[in-house]
Amino acid sequence: MTSALQGIRVVDLSRVLAGPWATQLLGDYGADVVKVEQPGSGDETRQWGPPWLGGEAGGESAYFLSTNRNKRSITVDLTKPEGQALVRELVASADVLVENFRVGTMNRFGLSAPSLLAAHPGLIYCSISAYGAGSSRAGEPGYDAMIQASAGLMSITGPPDEEGGGPQKVGVAVADIMTGMYAASAILAALNSRQSNGRGQHIEVPLYDAQVAWLANQNMNYLVGGVTPQRLGTAHPNIVPYQAFATSDGHLMLAVGNDRQFNACVKCIGRGDLGENPRYAENAGRVRHRDDLVAQLQATFAQNTTAYWLEELRAASVPAGPVNDLNDVFTGEYATERNLVRHIEHPHSDSLPSVANPVTFSESEVSYRLAPPLLGQHTSEVLREWLDYEAAEIDRMKSDGVI
């Protein structure tokens, strides 16, 4: 079985998370991804620890390991003209370039999209930035947390203000991750377009724009309803009951998505009377009378354990689940059944754990062939393989600080 992107070459000039997330996906699908890093320091996330692989400060950070599988690392000093020329050589052998420097930086390196596309019309050039290149904020830097705040996500995340809530960010860098997902899908679309017309193109994916785009129903709630969405904790703005409830020994998450499921839910918890109440018969009414209904459901769920209620709800085919921590997730039976953790050989570990890509193809494979690389681990290998460099030339460039 072959990989879907076998034969596709990617020059990865990105770092931190959004760009590396996109290129890790391309690598999982079989692309040959060469990660270009600054000599001596590399991707900032190499220093984002603890924890470290092996438990020692200065080793490979867990953060870096989470987003750089299936890549080879080379070091190139982009501030040196010879380093810039080397990247142009790599691009001549590549299908895709991904970068997430601040807007204007690639121009200063002589690696702008117009210049590289003029030389290589089939290139897919993907730029990830904080804000759009044509905007008044184009030159500003951006990290995930500030984008979560400024692009709306933190305004709808966390408990309501009347319950002592305040703006909260999501527990992982979802603005970065979703931008990476948009970038990866755009690159695949551009590769498909190139199949028919032979032309590459420049793709721009700003973090801010991506964050706004995936607010989905909350965006449309505002645009159609004219009311600014507020924080609701675990509750859903458009569906009731769809939130966490406290039980006698913990919590469960109830996700009732339609009127049939609501009737099944209240019957199985011994509150069939709620299903007969015309105020709650349809979802629109349940949303209008949210507070009254939720209070009655909460009083019922508090009378027994999480395990008891989950068994009852499961038997009635009502969507509900426990509020698991990551220990529960990775030690649970489902993780074993689905092989959610894969192990890869790494220079610092015989069996580095890595979280599985969730995609399964019927005719292609998802690859786990390369552990996240050490800084510059593959410099000589890639220069020989991609550019036919001789050992003496590689040694000279190393001594000159180019690589």
Q: pLDDT tens, 356-391?
A: 999 999 999 999 999 999 999 999 999 999 999 999
In the residue annotation, 32 being an active-site residue is answered as no
Q: What is residue 54's predicted lDDT score, i.e. its pLDDT?
A: 77
Q: What is residue 73's predicted lDDT score, i.e. its pLDDT?
A: 98
Distance (Å, rounded) from C-alpha 192 to C-alpha 185? 11
Radius of gyration of the chain from Cα atoms? 25
Q: Using DSSP, how many helices (H) and how many strands (E) does the chain show?
A: 18, 11
Pairing, β 251-255 against β 320-322: antiparallel
Distance (Å, rounded) from C-alpha 380 to C-alpha 390? 9
What is each CA distance from 393 to 23, 383, 388, in whole angstroms? 29, 10, 10
Q: What is residue 251's predicted lDDT score, i.e. its pLDDT?
A: 97
Q: What is residue 58's predicted lDDT score, i.e. its pLDDT?
A: 66
Half-sphere exposure of 43 (CA within 13 A, CB side): 35
Mean pLDDT, all residues of the chain:
95
Cβ contacts of residue 216 below 8 Å, gap of 6+?
A: none
- Length of the chain counted residue by residue: 403
Within 6-143, residue ranges assigned H as helices are 18-28, 62-65, 81-92, 105-108, 113-119
- State pLDDT tens for residues 200-220: 999 999 999 999 999 999 999
State the residue for tokens 């590289």: 116
For the record, the structure tokens of 398 come out as 């190393």
For the record, the structure tokens of 332 come out as 């649970």
Q: In a 10 Å sphere around its CB, with 0-12 CB exposed, 13-18 middle and 19+ buried, how is residue 336 labelled?
A: exposed
- State pLDDT tens for residues 233-284: 999 999 999 999 999 999 999 999 999 999 999 999 999 999 999 999 999 9
Question: What's the rounded mean pLDDT across residues 185-195?
Answer: 98
In the chain, the amino acid numbered 258 is N
User: Per the residue annotation, which of 32, 95, 176, 209 is the catalytic one?
Assistant: 176
Half-sphere exposure of 158 (CA within 13 A, CB side): 17
> In a 3-state reduction of DSSP, which class is residue 401?
coil
153: DSSP letter? G
Q: What is residue 165's predicted lDDT score, i.e. its pLDDT?
A: 84
Q: What is residue 56's predicted lDDT score, i.e. its pLDDT?
A: 73
- State pLDDT tens for residues 233-245: 999 999 999 999 9
- The domains found in the chain, sorted by start residue, are 9-214+357-399 (3.40.50.10540), 242-322 (3.30.1540.10)
Instruction: Select from 57, 26, 29, 60 the least CA-distant residue to 43.
Output: 60
Cis peptide leading into 20, omega within 30 of 0?
no
pLDDT band, residue 33 (cuts 50/70/90): very high
Residue 142 has pLDDT above 90, yes or no: no
Report field, pTM of the whole predicted structure over 0.75: yes
- State pLDDT tens for residues 57-97: 668 999 999 999 999 999 999 999 999 999 999 999 999 99
Cis peptide leading into 206, omega within 30 of 0?
no
Question: What's the rounded mean pLDDT across residues 299-308?
Answer: 97
Distance (Å, rounded) from C-alpha 145 to C-alpha 130? 11
Q: What is the helix (H) or strand (E) element at residue 34, kind and residue range?
A: strand 32-37
Share above pLDDT 90 across residues of the chain, in percent, rounded to a whole number:
93
